[in-house]
A and B are shown apart, each in its own frame.
Chain A
Amino acid sequence: EVQLVQSGAEVKKPGESLKISCQGPGSNFATSWIGWVRQMPGKGLEWMGTIYPGDSHTTYSPSFEGQVTISADKTISTAYLQWSSLKASDSAMYYCARHSFDASGFPFDHWGQGTLVTVSS
């Protein structure tokens, strides 16, 4: 069973920086593709971007490119999502999820538990 474990909830002020993490099992993390998904309060799911930890190749949704940075450290089987200057509108639940290469279309077959980010002055 693949388990993605995300870092804990964060409370930040506007303008602050933040980096949240998603750790997977070491055995094949470097050869997995990990996506980040945002869910604003009471709203639906939005794909932010996907990274291949093996070489850190990253693709971003146009809606999020330039707004966040996705990175990874394959040596510790961890992917990251970071902001340099948070806004109140960044308050949301953030999920990491693994793309399945065993399923047509490479859907997200395993999800982290989510990290709740609250940005408030």
Chain B
Amino acid sequence: EIVLTQSPATLSLSPGERATLSCRASQTVNSYLAWYQQKPGQAPRLLIYGASSRAAGIPARFSGSGSGTDFTLTISSLEPEDFAVYYCHHRYKWPPKSLTFGGGTRVEIK
């Protein structure tokens, strides 16, 4: 089973700063890497799919990159509503045989 390791666990930043979140896979994965945002008391929301494509309605300040085992979510300039927990996600084969989430990165206000 592929394990996704996110780092750091917590990122303390101020509004307007750049956030860089990492997701590392335990083995080389295809580009089926997605990122979700979850705010307290809410369901997750899809931000990025296919490693680098923004989902519908997602602001341009969110971008995804990476390949192989190393992937990055970048928030170019943090807005107050961006302070949340972010999860990466990978799906192996279809119908899914294995579908894993990373442990999450909390982006908190410094």
Contact = CB atoms under 8 A, between A and B. Distances in A.
B95 A57 contact: yes
Contacts, number: 82
A44 B101 contact: yes
- What's the interface size class on B, roughly? 20 to 34
Given A45-B101, A103-B34, A107-B34, 20 more contacts: A33-B95, A35-B96, A35-B99, A44-B103, A45-B38, A47-B96, A47-B99, A50-B95, A50-B99, A52-B95, A95-B43, A97-B44, A104-B50, A105-B49, A105-B90, A105-B91, A106-B32, A107-B49, A109-B56, A111-B43
A47 B87 CA distance: 13
A112 B97 CA distance: 22
Interface residues of A, number: 26
Interface string B36-49: 10100001111001
